[in-house]
Chain A
Amino acid sequence: GAGVSQSPSNKVTEKGKDVELRCDPISGHTALYWYRQSLGQGLEFLIYFQGNSAPDKSGLPSDRFSAERTGGSVSTLTIQRTQQEDSAVYLCASSDGVANSPLHFGNGTRLTVT
């Protein structure tokens, strides 16, 4: 079946604009994760969903970042008033939520704030 799908694959935006990133997980996967990866850096945890609820939002860098998930499926990550330091690859991953289940990643959205 289809893997994790993210859109857009690339996004260039001007500083101060809002952006919305979309993630469509593998069908039936209850757990959904957002990570951010800056060039040459590791993966920074942003937020995690189990179903539609987010048990852990501790990784969101500021109140400009928000995420939601509806219908236990598609998730959107919104960044308001983007700043240059928001430039990174935003990776979404899903799993079936069972202990020891691995993550399946999408190809990511490369965000560039000019």
Chain B
Amino acid sequence: RKEVEQDPGPFNVPEGATVAFNCTYSNSASQSFFWYRQDCRKEPKLLMSVYSSGNEDGRFTAQLNRASQYISLLIRDSKLSDSATYLCVVSFYNQGGKLIFGQGTELSVKP
């Protein structure tokens, strides 16, 4: 089983739609969680950190469920510019602090 797994993509949605991505992780000792965004042929960029109580940044909401070992990302009112690959990232501090990326979920927002 992979250490970090994401929903398979691609997700094709119309503008204005709400879309949710899930990510599961295998190590219960994981401490830090992030969502990154990667545009085609570009390096990943931080979208948002994920906090235990959940957090929101504009149209984006991130949730953490430690009991079930998953995190989620909700995008409301999708824009064309949201089209990208969304990467779930989990730290493994009982393994020296390495950060492991999920394989990514591709989102395509259509007019």
A interface residues, Cβ below 8 angstroms from B = 31, 33, 35, 41-43, 45, 48, 50, 55-56, 59, 91, 97, 99-103, 105-108
Contacts and interface: CB of A to CB of B under 8 A. Distances in A.
Given A43-B44, A56-B98, A105-B45, 12 more contacts: A42-B102, A42-B104, A48-B99, A50-B97, A55-B96, A99-B93, A101-B32, A102-B34, A102-B46, A103-B36, A105-B43, A106-B43
Contacts of B26: none
B101 A100 contact: no
A43 B99 CA distance: 11
B101 A50 contact: no
Interface residues of B, number: 23
A97 B98 CA distance: 10
Contacts of B31: 99-100
B100 A50 contact: no
A71 B81 CA distance: 41
A43 B98 contact: no
Contacts of B104: 42
Contact of B97 (A35, A43, A55, A102): A55
B96 A35 contact: no
Contact of B32 (A43, A55, A59, A99): A99
Contacts of B32: 99-101
27 contacts: A33-B98, A33-B99, A35-B101, A42-B87, A42-B102, A42-B103, A42-B104, A45-B98, A50-B97, A55-B95, A56-B95, A56-B96, A56-B98, A91-B43, A97-B97, A99-B32, A99-B91, A99-B93, A100-B31, A100-B49, A101-B32, A103-B36, A103-B46, A103-B89, A103-B99, A105-B43, A105-B44
Interface string B70-111: 000000000000000001010101011111111110000000
A33 B32 CA distance: 16
